[in-house]
């Protein structure tokens, strides 16, 4: 879940979602194979330190543009 504070700060809180939590209408829309692929292949299981992520060279947001 992403949260944007009034000052523009963005924070994220990640929660693992199991395959069984995916509603049937989503599985019908994208297909069981597509949903299964997302759970089995589209993941990064390496640990990331918050300080490293915070120090990433991210592009400037809209407020920083001329």
Report the distance separating Cα 9 and Cα 24, nearest Å.
35
Which residues share a beta bridge with 2? 12
2-54: pLDDT as tens digits:
889 898 889 888 888 899 999 999 999 999 999 999 888 877 777 766 665 66
Note the pTM of the prediction, 2 decimals.
0.49
Report the distance separating Cα 48 and Cα 54, nearest Å.
11
| Residue boundaries of the structural domains of the chain | 1-42
């Amino acid at each position: 879940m992403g949260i944007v504070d009034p000052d523009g700060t963005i924070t994220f809180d990640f929660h693992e979602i199991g395959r069984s939590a995916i509603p049937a209408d989503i599985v019908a829309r994208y297909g069981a194979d597509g949903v299964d692929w997302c759970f089995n292949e589209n993941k990064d299981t390496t640990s990331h330190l918050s300080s490293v992520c915070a120090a990433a060279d991210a592009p400037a947001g809209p407020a920083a543009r001329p």
